[in-house]
Amino acid sequence: MSLTVDQQKQAAARAAIDYIENDWVVGVGTGSTANHFIDALATIKDRIDGAVASSEASAQRLKAHGIRVFELTAVGELPIYVDGADEINANLQMIKGGGAALTREKIVAQCADKFICIADESKLVRVLGQFPLPVEVIPMARSLVGRAMVKLGGHPAWREDCVTDNGNWIIDVHGLTIDEPIKLETAINQIPGVVTNGIFALRPADVLLLGKTSGVEVFKNPASAR
């Protein structure tokens, strides 16, 4: 058996189904791996109550499968959140936002008791930062935030064709070596006009289901009680 990248994503997504208990409302991420998860969730839709989506795209896919979609405000807390990542390190800290859904992803993840990251093996890295760091900004703050990112050692690029589900813009910051993810996540979020940035270190994943060429490997966050 030698799984392709897409098969690795699908295998990780299917493995996440084992963590879903009856009558749960499931937090659902965004992206190609999360899409595999939504498709897998459809096979057990009769034993769950529904889902909360981290993007309009995921909400549409869930609804197309006949899965009930709740507003987060109607549910409050969630037992679980399942999502992909652009990069993840050994502490299960991540870069997310390649699909521009980082803010809603961070909000839904924060409401979840357990965060399961599903990813193909290319996403596991030693140090975060090879993938350009997405930062969601209020449009009028784009230049201000860009200059601040240069001071932090990055090379910002405006994702010109992208408006987020929240009506904001994305700056992708290249060239960062993120040795201290919590520190940088916190620092960037202090810049006026930043909605949030794609470092998920203050709230890392609890479990990583990593699809590899040989199958799925499970990593548990040693710092997590969940």
**Shorter beta-carbon distance to ligand 5RP: residue 23 or 120:** 120
Q: Binding to ligand 5RP by residue 33, rule CB under 6 A?
A: yes
Active-site hit among 105, 121, 160, 180 = 105
Q: Which helix (H) or strand (E) holds 51?
A: strand 50-53
**Of residues 11, 25, 83, 135, which one binds ligand 5RP by CB under 6 A?**
83
179 is in an annotated binding site: no
Binder of ligand 5RP out of 27, 29, 193, 204 (CB under 6 A): 29
Q: b/e map of 83-115 (b: 16 or more CB within 10 Å)?
A: bbbbbbbebbbbbbbbbbbbbbbbebbbebebb
What tokens were used for 176? Answer: 């960062």
136 is catalytic: no
- Does 87 help bind ligand 5RP (rule: CB under 6 A)? no
* Residue of 15, 20, 101, 205 that binds ligand 5RP (CB under 6 A): 101
DSSP letter for each residue of 77-94: -EEEEEE--SEE-TT--E
CA angle (202 as vertex; 198, 204 as ends), nearest 5 = 80
Annotation: binding site for substrate: 30-33, 83-86, 96-99, 123
Enumerate binding residues for ligand 5RP (CB under 6 A): 29-34, 83-86, 96-102, 105
